[in-house]
Amino acid sequence: MMHMYEVNHQRIKTNGIWMHVAEQGTGPLVLLLHGFPEFWYSWRHQITFLASHGYHAVAPDLRGYGDTDAPLSLSSYTLFHIVGDLIGLLDHFGEEQAFVVGHDWGAVAGWYLSLFRPDRVKGLVSLGVPYSPRSPNSKLVEVIRQTHGDGYYVCQFQKPGRAEMAFARYDYLTVMKKFLLINKTDSLIAPPDMEIIDYLETPSVLPPWITEEELQEYADKFLESGFTGPLNYFRAMELNWELLAPWQGSKVTVPVKFITGDKDYGFESEGAKEYVEGGVFKKFVPNSEVIILDGHHFIHQEKAQQVSDEILSFLHKLSAA
């Protein structure tokens, strides 16, 4: 069990914003990047585990989340801003390179940190979201809308205010339960004229890997910070597509371990399984291995020890190289 006082908290000035980080341990730097809708606390299992094995584990609240600044403009949430924040963290800690572990949107941040600045990344562990090359001709959200329709959660999150209004019909604890405890294995698509938050179920019984108290930590934090910052990551997707044109067709060359749950929503139904197990993923991420665990989207919490062990074995392998 992790004791909160063992984790040090501070706010760091980086890339024009104040960023809150939780850190523990000394040694080589490991950045732990959370996804949606989370904050540093998602890494509570890994941060202590890595610290106890001789690493300096640093889990920031990404911009827009938790106790980190949340710029108002959605154009301040591009991958260039997120990666810029992370470079500022490395500079603050005086580290030329770091190991990076990312989940969900944090995995996306890890992919683009590795793509833009491979000189700063020793290795990347990506959880749940594989690297996907930019489509040369079609904007990402347009492709998603054509493929999945307007009921798909990414499409519903595009219009400023829409998802926030829908979420507001529920208390924060219920919203957290609906997202963090998703056990659907198909794509997250709401029926016509229904909001995704209404479509997601609220489990009556919690799974064994999370407690009511832990879920309340999330609820309390989002009550303070709201959902607009986190949703702006989705709203900047079109802008990302426009800005990423210079990297068209480029590869991620750093060593990568990709870990996902076999029941992660959309893993099988959206073709991710064939993609990561086939040759295409390897073409874009040549120095990669793929680990598929028995589990869902929030695999680093559901299978905390297994994921921690996979991260550690990867760090050890790279340190020995």
- What would the pLDDT profile of 46-74 be if each residue is shown by its tens digit? 999 999 999 999 999 999 999 999 999 99
Residue 269 pLDDT grade (very low, low, confident, very high; cuts 50, 70, 90): confident
Spatial neighbors of 246 by CB under 8 A, at least 6 apart, are none
Which pLDDT belongs to residue 271?
86
What is the distance of C-alpha 64 from the center of its chain? 13
Pairing of strands 256-261, 288-293: parallel
Determine what percent of the chain is predicted with pLDDT higher than 90. 91
104 annotated active-site: yes
Catalytic residue among 103, 104, 264, 300: 104
Instruction: Give the end-to-end CA distance of the chain in Å, rounded to a whole number.
Output: 33
CA-angle at 35, arms to 123 and 17, nearest 5°: 85
* Cβ–Cβ < 8 Å for 151, 192: yes
Which pLDDT belongs to residue 119?
98
Residues 159-216 have pLDDT tens digits of 999 999 999 999 999 999 999 999 888 899 999 999 999 999 999 999 999 999 999 9
* Cβ–Cβ < 8 Å for 118, 254: yes
* Cβ–Cβ < 8 Å for 114, 100: yes
* Cβ–Cβ < 8 Å for 181, 203: yes
Q: Per the structure block, which two tokens stand in for 46?
A: 């890994």
Task: Answer whether the bond into residue 37 is a cis peptide, omega within 30°.
Answer: yes
297 annotated active-site: yes
pLDDT higher than threshold 70 for residue 229:
yes
Angle between helices 212-225 and 172-180 (to 10 degrees): 120
Mean pLDDT of 295-300: 97
Angle between helices 304-320 and 44-52 (to 10 degrees): 40
Determine what percent of the chain is predicted with pLDDT higher than 70. 98
Burial class of 233 by CB neighbour count within 10 A (0 to 12, 13 to 18, 19+): buried
DSSP state of 170: S
Pairing of strands 29-33, 56-60: parallel
Which pLDDT belongs to residue 270?
84
Catalytic residue among 56, 296, 297, 300: 297
Report the C-alpha gap between 73 and 180 in whole angstroms.
Answer: 27
* Cβ–Cβ < 8 Å for 188, 152: yes
Buried b (16+ CB within 10 A) or exposed e, 257-288: bbbbbebbbbbeebebbebbeeeebeebbeeb
Give 3-state DSSP helix, strand, coil % of the chain, rounded to 5: 45, 15, 40
* Cβ–Cβ < 8 Å for 12, 92: yes
Burial class of 107 by CB neighbour count within 10 A (0 to 12, 13 to 18, 19+): buried
